[in-house]
Chains A and B, each alone.
Chain A
Amino acid sequence: MIADGQTLIAVAAFLGGGLAMGLGAVGAAIGEGYTAAEANYALSRNPQGAGDLFKTMLVGQAIAESASIFALVIAMILLFSNFGSTSLVTASALVAAGLSMGFGAVGSGIGSGLPAAAACGGMARQPAMGGRLTTNMLVGSAVCQTPSIFALVTAFILIFTDFSKEAVNPAWAAVLGAGLAAGLSAIGSGIGGGVVAQASCEGIARNPHSQKQVINIMLLGQAITQTPAILGLLISFILIFKQVEATDAIAPGIALLASGLCMGIGAIGPGVGEGIASSGGVKWIARNPSFAGNLTRTMLVGMAVAESTAIYSMVIALALIFVV
């Protein structure tokens, strides 16, 4: 077998494309299935609203699918583009782009199915609130997509940056670490954001008068839930754009790869945890809007504590990049 540069790039692009679409198909499918299941429940509860319910289910599923469509775009680009470079770093970057987008689509796909499901359930309970519930679902699902958009940005940067002048040895690990950091860290925040939006759709259906407060708190909660994904994005940017010195030793490269893994895996838990914390806040503000101030403060403090583990991961990741 001859492994010249051209072949290597082609192999990497196919591998990356396959990983992007394969992993990218996981999340959206789960989210959409959950939405459809809840729509069936809602229909059996309130058969008169069948038309509206059907529409809401389809719209919700379409938005949940967008994370997968991002993965499809990346996979198509990887499969059908010509890459001029023959460097090993570029090959590694193409695989990393696939990994980043593939993992990044998992969380947002699952997450944005949850508000759609809650909106269907809520419409069965409160048919008069259909329009507002749909709006709330659209806003919640759109914000849920943010982590997958971060993964997409990283994937594009990895594909279109010229790495051919970089020193091969540590740089291959740096770009791979960058892809993993952005991709894995998007999983938790995607799911967490979905849990928050689900709680808000449910809350509005229970207590329509609380709508304005609930939307504000939901956006706030989702925004803070995205922090782990943003820290992952930061680490991946540092890994991509940092100048690395050429070396024969294996350790510096592995340190960079480990830094990406540390940030990526370390951000999954905080993302989900903050989502759960914030969903509690949203849920109880919807039932008891007069205590919104106190509840918001407790929610914010709780989220900050849940976030601290993501910050520990970031500290270790930065130490791995700059100190070790």
Chain B
Amino acid sequence: MNELGKIHQLIIPFLGHNLTFNLEAIAMTWIVCGLLIVFGLLAAYRKARVPGPLQIVGELFVSQLFSLTEDALDKEMAKKYGPLICALFMFLVLSNWLGILPHLEEPTRDLNTPLSLGIMGFVISHYVAIKTKGLKAYVKEYFEPIFFMMPLNLIGELAKIVSISFRLFGNIMGGSIIILVVSYLTYSILLPPLLNAFFGLFVGAIQAFVFTMLTLVYISVQVK
């Protein structure tokens, strides 16, 4: 029980500030990236008309997420932002599933990972908005319906980052805490595998999808 919430940090003093690195989150993120690159190479290694099992899985990911992107944005934009959505979903789903392996933990359990991904989506959506609507129309939207609503509109936009990142973080963190505590209370008999299946695989996949979907919607709301 004592390992609950303990993390290894590397603190480096730099120009009067302390730079803090959460080592587990960094290492796990690299593991996820490595696994995804290996998967991508293997899936695309010997492309054939009759696809092998890995190629099928890869094609499934790409085609499903592309059609999702096309539904939300139009065809032209889907070509541009489809790969982003694909990569985001595959990264998140693998991150959320990583915790079911012993000695590994989800990088999304560290608030920094969802928060940076959330900020990424936020920046991209606003970049797209300025690019398609022009700066003037974009700024004008903040002063609607009445000009003094501007601060509240601004806070509403910033609340999007909070909500998207805390949702993922809370779910993954909560799941891993429940698994840890129940394993401790039952001496790891019987219940933990079921809990891992529910919180690790099921909730992990749903939350990865929700995060991807919300990023996509944030972009599409800004465009239309």
By a beta-carbon cutoff of 8 Å, the part of chain A in contact with chain B is: 70, 73, 76-77, 138-139, 142-143, 146, 149-150, 152-153, 156-157, 160, 216, 219-220, 222-224, 226-227, 230-231, 233-234, 292, 297, 300, 304, 307-308, 311-312, 314-315
Contacts and interface: CB of A to CB of B under 8 A. Distances in A.
Contacts, number: 89
Given A77-B181, A150-B174, A315-B155, A219 B209 contact: yes
Nearest to B68: A216
11 contacts: A142-B206, A143-B210, A146-B170, A146-B171, A150-B170, A153-B174, A220-B210, A220-B213, A224-B163, A224-B214, A227-B159
Given A149-B170, A160-B4, A231-B159, 13 more contacts: A76-B185, A142-B203, A143-B210, A149-B175, A150-B170, A150-B174, A230-B163, A230-B167, A231-B162, A300-B221, A307-B156, A308-B152, A311-B155
A21 to B, nearest CB: 15
Contact of A230 (B162, B185, B224): B162
Contact of A311 (B4, B159, B173, B206): B159
B38 to A, nearest CB: 29
B206 A143 contact: yes
Contacts of A146: 167, 170-171
Interface residues of B, number: 33
B159 to A, nearest CB: 6
A297 B163 contact: no
Given A143-B206, A216-B213, A220-B214, A230 B152 contact: no
Contact of A219 (B155, B206, B221): B206
Nearest to A148: B174
Contacts of B152: 308, 311-312, 315
